[in-house]
Structures are given as structure tokens and as C-alpha cells.
Chains A and B, each alone.
Chain A
Amino acid sequence: DVKVTQSSRYLVKRTGEKVFLECVQDMDHENMFWYRQDPGLGLRLIYFSYDVKMKEKGDIPEGYSVSREKKERFSLILESASTNQTSMYLCASSLSIGGIRETQYFGPGTRLLVL
């Protein structure tokens, strides 16, 4: 069965802390994505990766960085957390680039509160 797991369901951090969100997929997928979800705004793409060590900025990359050292793992890093980064963070993966029928498989999300 397809599975995307995220390291934490809930996180509380203080302003200025460095925050790591981890995502692991067990489907040997090429692509991995990080989104944030805020009420009324839908899902907004932060970063995505189409291969190990490869990454591209999404629509809202400011204040975030990512790391993909292994195919199955994609990390989102908040270098210095701020209150406006309080949100639900969703990780997703998909098989390969190029298919318009590509399904993205999502993890359960990490709800981050920055105080």
C-alpha cells in the first residue's frame, strides 16, 4: 500500500528556532513536494524535488529550504521560524515527471504552531 509519512503530526516552536519537517515515502517515487495549507488559500507549493539532490522553488519558497539526500526522504527546513509560518504542512510524492495523469500521494500533514 502506498505510504507517505511525516515525522510529526503536531509541532510547537518558538520564533527564531530552526525547524525540521521530515517526510518519507516508500513507493520509490521520483518526485516529492512540500505544500502549506492555510484556510481559504488551498495548497501552496513551497518546494519540490524531481530527483535526489535536485530541487526547485515553488510559489512561496521564502523562509524555507529543503534537502533531499536520499530518494525516499525529503526534508523541509525553516531556518528561523516566524509566526507567519504557523500552518499545516503537507508532503506529497508522485511517480515521475511528464504524466498528466500523475497522482500525488499525500502524507497526513504536520500542524506547526510558531509562538
Chain B
Amino acid sequence: TQLLEQSPQFLSIQEGENLTVYCNSSSVFSSLQWYRQEPGEGPVLLVTVVTGGEVKKLKRLTFQFGDARKDSSLHITAAQPGDTGLYLCAGAGDSSYKLIFGSGTRLLVRP
């Protein structure tokens, strides 16, 4: 069974600080996605990484896929209150249409 573990589970930081969220597995994934979910809404895709070692940037967010395609990280620079939400990583499992989700990291950015 493929599992994804996210850390930390909760993060409360001051506006302007930097943070990193980790997504780890003992399994290899063909691709990995990051979603953000705001209160009362469904998750929204932020990025998909496919190649081992790949780095993608989305404004102040930097996503990295591990060389062995078993782990990923999300780094936010100069966090803003609008970054508050639940961040979920999801890996494409044995069946490409089935995603395996991590347990999520709940981020609160205080003004």
C-alpha cells in the first residue's frame, strides 16, 4: 500500500516568515501534485511535478520533487495571510487515475 506522510500537521506563523512543508513516502510515484484547500471549499490544484529533481515555482511558492520520486516539498517565501489553508500532497499511484493523498498540513499565517 502506498502512503504519503506530510509534516508538519499544523503550522502557525507570522506574516513575512518562510516555511517548508514536506511530503514523504517509501514508494515511488509517477507524479506528485500539491493542492490547497480553503475553508468551506474543495481542494484546488497548485502544481504537478513529474520528473525526479524537478523544481517548479508559482510566485512565492516553490515545489520540488525528490530525485527518487519518493518525496516532495513546498516552500513558501514571505508568507501572507492569503496563504492560509490546508495543503495536501497527492501522488499518482499504481493506477494513474487514482490519487493517494497525504494527511495534509494546516497553515495559519497571522497578520
Main secondary structure of the interface of B (DSSP, over half): loop
Contacting residues of chain A (19-65) with chain B, CB-CB under 8 angstroms = 31, 35, 40-45, 48, 50, 58
**Neighbouring B residues of A108 by C-beta, 8 Å:** 40-42
Interface size on A, residues (CB 8 A): 29
Contact of B42 among A4, A31, A45 (CB under 8 A): A4
Q: Beyond A106-B44, A108-B40, A108-B41, is A100–B92 a contact (Cβ under 8 Å)?
A: yes
Interface residue? B9 (CB, 8 A): yes
Residue pair B97, A102 in contact (C-beta under 8 Å):
yes
A98 to B96, CA, bound (A): 6
Residue pair A48, B42 in contact (C-beta under 8 Å):
no
Residue pair B101, A102 in contact (C-beta under 8 Å):
no
**Neighbouring A residues of B42 by C-beta, 8 Å:** 4, 90, 92, 106-109
**Neighbouring A residues of B97 by C-beta, 8 Å:** 31, 48, 50, 94, 97-98, 102
Q: Beyond A101-B31, A109-B41, is A43–B50 a contact (Cβ under 8 Å)?
A: no
Interface residue? A104 (CB, 8 A): yes
Contacting residues of chain A (57-115) with chain B, CB-CB under 8 angstroms = 58, 90, 92, 94, 97-109
**Neighbouring B residues of A109 by C-beta, 8 Å:** 40-42
**Neighbouring B residues of A90 by C-beta, 8 Å:** 42-43
A66 to B67, CA, bound (A): 39
Q: List 12 A-B contacts (CB under 8 A).
A: A42-B88, A42-B104, A43-B43, A48-B97, A50-B97, A90-B43, A94-B97, A97-B97, A98-B96, A99-B96, A100-B96, A106-B44
Closest 8 CB pairs of A and B: A106-B42, A42-B101, A43-B101, A42-B103, A100-B31, A100-B30, A97-B97, A103-B45
User: A-side interface residues toward B, CB under 8 Å?
Assistant: 4, 9, 31, 35, 40-45, 48, 50, 58, 90, 92, 94, 97-109
